[in-house]
């Protein structure tokens, strides 16, 4: 079985976020990046299927040179090869643009199963997976928390709200977006990292994929007009002082609430 | 001029509150741009809900009522939405940012080659142009998004807009939907078993986040305060994802929706999903190192500081106050 995993490199969860001068994105120089946490679960899900039944895991990502590092990490974890769409012409793509690029890759690869994270930790848009499936004309489901594979189908438990789950069967080929907590993500072993150095990263341009003029900022149907720190609304009354003083004030309030 | 189509949802046999919020959003856009509001109701035996929505501002309500639509599947709902789009010629399609919206909205957007914006908390109408407001980076930054051209598919954050509470006479139009053999098939819905932890009934909840650093810290720092207050312990999603606590401790849209008298959030930044789960709390105390954490926006009292210093002191003070 061939599995394609789409990964995105995003600012590390603890990275300091400053809006850049033009107000449309964050300053992304000199901050730490990581594989989007949801995509780490996607990659783990793929690697577990490969561990159990063999096959090939191909990771794909779009972005600048620094993305190579995340692809090497994925290869170190056990992916077999990587595809990197590295082209300034892809910069500023909206979710549909990203889905078009990935669809071109997927058409060439014909995987049995495609994984993406449910959303990315930067945009939180949660669109690329279902859009990619739609462009490919294959079934999809979102927010998977478990997955079982049988002949010709996968059965997924997807997360709903309030602790509820929905069980859904999908015919393969299909696409599944993964929720965090679906699995415990493995680390790349030293042996894995050494082996990853010999694994191929295939670099593609937008033109290679036949999408010149159809993706990137110019083709985006959604533009970020302004990114900004949320205005301070009502907000909390801030209690300050030493830990003892703060504890005293909080207890006073808890008493006032009639809870002591 | 095309219309605005909202995709309503039914939850536990009732019209979902979030769908009436979509009515508010649709009517706001409609009034400002001269577009007519239309709605879609999907299910089996749901004509009463379509009638209700027609009276509550949903305009012309397309009713896709079929045995094949009894349970949600993205293919069946997509077929219903396509039929409603063919009948209603919308330029703007609105859904709620819910499990149905997550699954269906991007599929619709890609099929329509539409501009797509998700999880918006507001929309502004500037002349003929729409600007959608939403959060990025798990609530740390906000953004104004401008769709370029039409159509637009948007999902709105449940609870962000007031539900339309007026009445307006609409009508119900039955819609024939051909639901083919899709690639997805609904099997069942499961409700996670609560194993003795029912946060929905707790009067006091003390919750911890990822910055606790490990499961033992919950026992050492969070639980003693919860115990001293006669309350329950809760957690944010990353804690549960890391396996530090079982799922039933999770407060959030995908976990427990809670409404305690007092909610103490320790080291919780306040991602939207968490805020949705705790917004029914009567009084919120937040303790966090990061003064910019979104949790401080919804808290009543805030402490900018190290929870490992503050929480044990608070536990002592609570015990002392109780004598």
Q: What is the pLDDT of residues A49-88, one digit of tens each?
A: 999 999 999 999 999 999 999 999 999 999 999 999 999 9
Top residue of B11, B228, B254 to mutate, by most chain A CBs within 10 Å, is B254
pTM: 0.94
Q: In chain B, positions 91-110, which contact chain A (CB-CB < 8 Å)?
A: 98-99, 102-107, 109-110
Q: Find out whether A63 and A82 touch, Cβ atoms under 8 Å.
A: no
Closest-CA residue of chain A to B140: A229
**Residue A16 near chain B (CB below 8 Å):** no
**What's the rounded mean pLDDT across residues A11-34?**
93
Q: Give the nearest partner residue to B73 out of A123, A130, A168, using CB atoms.
A: A168
Top residue of A142, A154, A175 to mutate, by most chain B CBs within 10 Å, is A142
**Residue B321 near chain A (CB below 8 Å):** yes
CB contact under 8 A, B301 and A236: yes
DSSP sequence for B180-230: ---SEEEEEEEEPPP-S--GGG-SEEEEE-GGG-SHHHIIIIIHHHHHHTT
- Name the residue among A92, A80, A108 with its Cα closest to residue A204: A108
| ipTM over the 0.90 cut-off | yes
Euclidean distance between CA atoms B239 and A256, whole angstroms: 31
pLDDT at residue B277, as a whole number: 93
Peptide bond into A19 cis (omega under 30): no
Q: Find out whether A130 and A119 touch, Cβ atoms under 8 Å.
A: no
Peptide bond into A247 cis (omega under 30): no
Euclidean distance between CA atoms B53 and B56, whole angstroms: 5
Chain B partners within 8 Å of A237 (Cβ): 300-302
Q: Hey, is B12 helix, strand or coil?
A: coil
Q: In chain A, positions 133-172, which contact chain B (CB-CB < 8 Å)?
A: 133-135, 138-143, 155, 157-171
% of chain A residues with pLDDT over 90: 93
pLDDT at A2 over 80: yes
Q: Find out whether B29 and B35 touch, Cβ atoms under 8 Å.
A: yes
Closest-CA residue of chain B to A160: B99
**What's the rounded mean pLDDT across residues A192-202?**
95
Tokens 């069946």 identify what position?
Answer: B76
Q: In chain A, positions 34-53, which contact chain B (CB-CB < 8 Å)?
A: none
The pair phi, psi for residue B243, each rounded to 5°, is 80, 15
Low-confidence ranges of chain B (pLDDT < 50): none
CB contact under 8 A, A181 and B241: yes
**What's the rounded mean pLDDT across residues A179-204?**
95
Q: Give the nearest partner residue to A134 out of B110, B298, B317, using CB atoms.
A: B110
């Amino acid at each position: 079985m061939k599995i394609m995993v789409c990964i995105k490199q995003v600012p590390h969860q603890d990275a300091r976020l400053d809006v850049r001068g033009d107000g449309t994105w964050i300053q992304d120089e000199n901050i730490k990046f990581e594989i989007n946490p949801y995509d780490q679960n996607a990659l783990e899900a793929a690697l577990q299927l490969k561990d159990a039944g063999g096959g090939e895991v191909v990771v794909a990502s779009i972005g600048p040179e620094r993305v190579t590092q995340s692809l090497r990490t994925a290869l170190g974890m056990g992916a077999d090869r990587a595809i990197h769409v590295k082209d300034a012409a892809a910069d500023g793509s909206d979710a549909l643009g990203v889905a078009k690029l990935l669809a071109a890759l997927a058409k060439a690869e014909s995987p049995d199963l495609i994984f993406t994270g449910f959303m990315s930790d930067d945009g939180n848009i949660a669109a690329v997976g279902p859009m990619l499936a739609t462009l490919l004309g294959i079934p999809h489901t979102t927010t998977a928390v478990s997955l079982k594979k049988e002949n010709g189908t996968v059965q997924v438990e997807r997360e709903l709200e309030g602790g509820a789950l929905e069980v859904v069967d999908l015919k393969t080929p299909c696409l599944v977006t993964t929720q965090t907590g679906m699995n415990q993500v493995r680390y790349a072993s030293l042996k894995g990292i050494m082996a990853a150095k010999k694994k191929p990263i295939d670099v593609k341009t937008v033109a290679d994929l036949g999408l010149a003029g159809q993706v990137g900022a110019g083709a985006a149907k959604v533009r970020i007009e302004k990114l900004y720190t949320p205005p301070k609304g009502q907000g909390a009354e801030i209690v300050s002082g030493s830990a003892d003083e703060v504890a005293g004030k909080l207890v006073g309030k808890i008493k006032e609430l009639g809870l002591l | 001029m095309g219309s605005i189509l909202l995709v309503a949802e039914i939850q536990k046999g009732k019209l979902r509150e979030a769908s009436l919020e979509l009515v508010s959003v649709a009517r706001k856009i409609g009034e400002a741009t001269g577009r007519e509001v239309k709605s879609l109701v999907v299910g089996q035996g749901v004509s009463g809900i379509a009638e209700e929505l027609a009276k509550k501002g949903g305009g012309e309500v397309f009713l896709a009522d079929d045995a094949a639509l009894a349970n949600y599947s993205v293919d069946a709902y997509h077929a219903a939405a396509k039929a409603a789009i063919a009948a209603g010629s919308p330029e703007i399609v609105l859904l709620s940012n819910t499990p149905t919206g997550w699954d269906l909205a991007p599929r619709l957007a890609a099929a329509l080659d539409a501009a797509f914006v998700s999880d918006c908390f507001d929309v502004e109408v500037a002349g003929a142009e729409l600007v959608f407001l939403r959060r990025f980076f798990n609530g740390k930054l906000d953004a104004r998004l401008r769709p370029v051209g039409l159509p637009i598919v948007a999902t709105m954050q449940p609870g962000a807009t007031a539900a339309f509470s007026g009445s307006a006479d609409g009508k119900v139009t039955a819609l024939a939907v051909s639901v083919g053999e899709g690639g997805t098939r609904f099997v069942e819905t499961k409700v996670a078993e609560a194993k003795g932890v029912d946060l929905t009934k707790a009067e006091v909840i003390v919750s911890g986040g990822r910055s606790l650093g490990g499961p033992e810290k919950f026992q050492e720092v969070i639980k003693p305060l919860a115990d001293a207050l006669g309350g329950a312990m809760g957690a944010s999603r990353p804690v549960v994802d890391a396996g530090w606590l079982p799922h039933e401790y999770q407060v959030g849209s995908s976990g427990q929706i809670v409404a305690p008298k007092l909610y103490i959030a320790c080291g919780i930044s306040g991602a939207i999903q968490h805020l949705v789960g705790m917004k029914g709390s009567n009084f919120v105390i937040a303790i966090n190192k990061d003064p910019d954490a979104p949790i401080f926006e919804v808290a009543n009292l805030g402490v900018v500081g190290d929870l490992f210093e503050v929480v044990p002191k608070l536990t002592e003070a609570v015990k002392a106050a109780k004598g």
